[in-house]
Chain A
C-alpha cells in the first residue's frame, strides 16, 4: 500500500483544509496527545473522520501525520478545526519551551532504565 499523502498535489492539500491559514494551530506540538471527544457524524470530511477514529486513545500529532500520510502542517490545521468545534481535546507537553522540571527527568530515567 502506498502512502496516500506522498503524491498529493499542493492543490489537494489546499482543498483538504479549505484554504484556511493555520491560525492557532501552533498550539499543537509534534507530541501533543490528541483525544477524541465526540464520534464522527455523517457528511464529515474523511480526514476528520479518520482523526476522530484514530484518537479514541491518546495519539500524538506526529503519529496522526504519519498514519494519514500528510505533512505535519496540514494535520495541525485539520486538528485546529476539530479542536475549535470541541470534537477533540489536546494534552500538550508539560515541558515545551523550557527546561523540564527535575521530577520529569527522574521519571524519564526510571522509565528508560526499566526498558
Chain B
C-alpha cells in the first residue's frame, strides 16, 4: 500500500514520465499465440510489460455504457504494453495484441491513430497471421512483417512473401524478439516504412 504521507506511491517498476511529456504514440505488435509479442515488448520497453483489458459484449460491440459492463454478455480482451520515452515530449507505447478474431472488434476503439503495426510471425505457422494481415489491410494500418525464428525449417523470403500474399512494398524481416537490438531494428524498419508511405501515399494499403 502507498502510504498517505509518501510523496509518490511505490512504483519502482514504472518510473514517472517527465513533466514535459505531452504526446503519446502507439505501435501495435500483433500475432498468433506464443509468437513472441510480449517478449518483443519487453525487449525494448523501459518498464516491465503491464497487462490490461477492454470490455466488449459477445455481440462484438465495444461496451458503450456501464449497463453493458453490467450485463452478463460482457467479455474482456486482454493486451499488454510497454513504454519507450523518445524525447522530452514524445512517449511511444508498444502494445502486444492477440490476433484472434474477437480482438479486432476493439481495434478502432483501442488503436485508432496507431502509427503502424508489426505482424510477428512464426514461420512454422504462417497461416496464423493471415487474419491479422487481412484486418490491418482492411483498417488501412501500415505494417511490417517480422519473422521470429523458432528453429523451424528455413524459408526463403520469397516463400514467406508468397504464403502471406505480401505486396512487394511491405517490408519483411527476420528477427529475434528476445534481442533488444533486433526488436529495435524491427521498430525502426516500421517507422522508416511509414516515412516512405508519407512521401508516396498511393502505397498505403
Binding site for B on A (CB under 8 A): 10-11, 13-14, 17, 19-22, 29-33, 53-54, 56-60, 62-63, 65-67, 71-74, 77, 91, 93-100, 102, 104-113, 115
Which residues on A sit within 8 Å (CB–CB) of B71?
10
A109 contacts B52, C-beta separation under 8 Å = no
Interface membership of chain B positions 106-140, coded 1 if the CB is closer than 8 angstroms to chain A and 0 otherwise? 00001111010000000000000000000000000
CB distance from B140 to the nearest CB of A (A): 10
- In the assembly, what is the distance between CA of A28 and CA of B53, in Å? 15
Binding site for A on B (CB under 8 A): 2, 8-9, 11, 14, 16-19, 21-26, 44, 50-55, 62-67, 69-72, 74, 76, 81, 83-87, 89-93, 95, 110-113, 115, 180, 184, 187-188, 191-192, 194-195, 197-198, 201
A72 contacts B54, C-beta separation under 8 Å = yes
B9 contacts A60, C-beta separation under 8 Å = no
A109 contacts B191, C-beta separation under 8 Å = yes
- In the assembly, what is the distance between CA of A73 and CA of B106, in Å? 11
A104 contacts B66, C-beta separation under 8 Å = no
- In the assembly, what is the distance between CA of A7 and CA of B87, in Å? 37
User: Which partner residue on chain B sits nearest A18 by CB separation?
Assistant: B66
B51 contacts A13, C-beta separation under 8 Å = no
15 A-B contacts, Cβ less than 8 Å apart? A21-B65, A29-B24, A31-B91, A53-B2, A54-B11, A57-B18, A57-B19, A60-B24, A72-B54, A73-B55, A93-B24, A100-B115, A105-B115, A107-B90, A111-B90
